[in-house]
Chain A
Amino acid sequence: MTILVIAEHEKGAVAPATLNTVAAAAKIGGDVHVLVAGQGVGAVAEAAAKIAGVAKVLVADNAAYAHFLPENVAPLVVELASAYSHVLAPATSNGKNVLPRVAAQLDVDQISEIISVESADTFKRPIYAGNAIATVQSSAAIKVITVRATGFDAVAAEGGSAAIEAVGAAHDAGKSSFVGEELAKSDRPELTAAKIVVSGGRGMQNGDNFKHLYALADKLGAAVGASRAAVDAGFVPNDMQVGQTGKIVAPQLYIAVGISGAIQHLAGMKDSKVIVAINKDEEAPIFQVADYGLVADLFEAVPELEKLV
């Protein structure tokens, strides 16, 4: 059994979700190869070769793979896939975009967002916004799977010494082109990888009030998230959204401020180790999942919390 992991990378570095995906691959067992596709990704490939447990790194360095357009990347993965028993990608926006296209071309069903490996062909994944956990068995010759990063502890980024091999094949379907990108700027830790997440909801009342959360987050070294209500109200950009339709996080500590706790939001954070809720409505559903609840006005409690931590 040999497993191909499609690396997620950004700004010339391996993204943390790749390490969780390699961990899932290690649980399945067998040799783990990593595919790094993109343009100018030599440094990424070298970093990928150092990941613990990786046997080989395949590098597809070509302008056609810049920006990870699925029309071009999927045929590359399909071409390589015949040598593998499993093809894994992290359930990031890139992984979710490309992998189903690969699965359909291989004529197999995909298993999305696994949270555990039961055996080489059986996996667990959440359905119905995390309100049920399905155990799914695949009879496909090549199993195509996306991995929910928070379901697996990351492997070490250092310690491996894999061989690097260039993949010549260039696929340019000519059906799509990259126009532009608008990335939100942030100095704080990446939301899905942060140890502590502080999130605000509709109770924040406006975008300006998020400064209270930023101050608290900076003191804790935390990332700042938001509920869909806060995003829809225009308080913060939508890449901060935690929930079924946003990002899935599972930090050590999740502090929910002014968030009622709708099912949609809980699906994105209820696997956090410790959940703290600060809300003035003591009936808010968030208190049913919170380890520590504080019924208080957030505009008093958050600045006080910032002073005390």
Chain B
Amino acid sequence: MKVLVAVKRVVDYNVKVRVKADNSGVDLANVKMSMNPFCEIAVEEAVRLKEKGVATEIVVVTIGPSTAQEQLRTALALGADRAILVEAADELNSLAVAKLLKAVVDKEQPQLVILGKQAIDSDNNQTGQMLAALTGFGQGTFASKVDVAGDKVSVTREIDGGLQTVSLNLPAIVTTDLRLNEPRYASLPNIMKAKKKPLETVTPDALGVSVASTNKTVKVEAPAARSAGIKVKSVAELVEKLKNEAKVI
């Protein structure tokens, strides 16, 4: 079975981002970029499915600037077979991304599409569900366990009160939660080999997809800063402050 994995290039999760002075967005100039952590888990899961003999081919796709090729090469080094870059200049909203991915799904006809549950930049948590809606596939979001058996996939999902298991007909969409697996590191020989793997570039126009959006970001601000606190010397002083100063207990 063919597995399609969507990955996103985002600011590295260790970077403390700064809002631009003109409030137009966050400053991403000269900031370290990486593959979104949830996407790494998605790639890892696909590679494990291939190692188990369930998946036969892994296609990795990203939508973004030409520099996003780095993240595709990373995925190829981790075990993906080939890559597709849908080159888009601007930061697209989730629905536009889902529409572009739908076009790729139509072309590639994968049995399983794996995405991260959310990207750590926009924090939207939408694309996988939207892709499921557009393709009409079932969705297993926030997955902590994935089992493919025959023409169905069983997905254990992290929900508010614990875990829920659902069974989906294939083809299906799965979005990964943190506990699904621990992603591996790419080895140097695999990084070298990944440079020779095929990487195809297409444009949204070639896929026949309009990337117009109904959302517009008007302003981006820094969150209100918390005023500096104090250090107390003892537990007794802490309890006294909580009772009499903060009045919260």
Contact A129 B223, beta carbon cutoff 8 Å: no
Interface bracket on A: 35 or more
Contacts A128-B26, A239-B160 hold; do A305 and B235 have CB atoms under 8 A apart? Answer: yes
Q: Is B166 an interface residue (CB 8 A)?
A: yes
Q: Is A34 an interface residue (CB 8 A)?
A: no
Q: How far is the CB of A170 from chain B (nearest CB, A)?
A: 18
Q: Is A228 an interface residue (CB 8 A)?
A: yes
Contact B158 A177, beta carbon cutoff 8 Å: no
Contact A238 B158, beta carbon cutoff 8 Å: yes
Closest to A11 in B: B161
Contact B164 A137, beta carbon cutoff 8 Å: no
Q: How far is the CB of B238 from chain A (nearest CB, A)?
A: 5
Contact B121 A252, beta carbon cutoff 8 Å: no
CA distance A157 to B154 in the complex (A): 38
**How many residue pairs at the A-B interface have CB separations less than 8 Å?**
253
Near A by CB (< 8 A), chain B positions 1-37 give: 11, 13, 16-17, 19, 26
Contact with A along B151-187 (1 / 0, CB 8 A): 0001001111111111111001000011100000000
Interface bracket on B: 35 or more
Which chain B residues lie closer than 8 Å to A155 at the CB level?
A: none
Contact with B along A82-96 (1 / 0, CB 8 A): 000000000011101
Q: How far is the CB of A265 from chain B (nearest CB, A)?
A: 12
Which chain A residues lie closer than 8 Å to B164 at the CB level?
A: 67, 178, 180-182
Q: How far is the CB of B108 from chain A (nearest CB, A)?
A: 19
CA distance A237 to B163 in the complex (A): 10
> Which listed residue (B165, B218, B229, B248) contacts A287, Cβ 8 A?
B229
Contact A184 B162, beta carbon cutoff 8 Å: yes
Q: Is B202 an interface residue (CB 8 A)?
A: no
Contact A109 B214, beta carbon cutoff 8 Å: yes
Contact with A along B104-136 (1 / 0, CB 8 A): 000000000000011011111111111111101
- Of the A-B pairs whose beta carbons lie under 8 Å apart in the complex, a sample of 22, sorted by A's number, is A69-B166, A71-B138, A93-B157, A99-B129, A103-B95, A109-B213, A110-B124, A134-B219, A135-B220, A138-B216, A176-B138, A177-B166, A182-B165, A184-B162, A273-B248, A276-B238, A292-B238, A293-B231, A294-B232, A305-B235, A308-B236, A309-B242
Chain A residues near B (Cβ < 8 Å): 10, 67, 69-71, 74, 92-94, 96-105, 107-113, 122, 125-140, 173-184, 192, 196, 220, 228, 232, 237-239, 244-245, 247, 252-253, 263-264, 270, 273-276, 282, 287, 289-296, 301, 304-305, 308-309
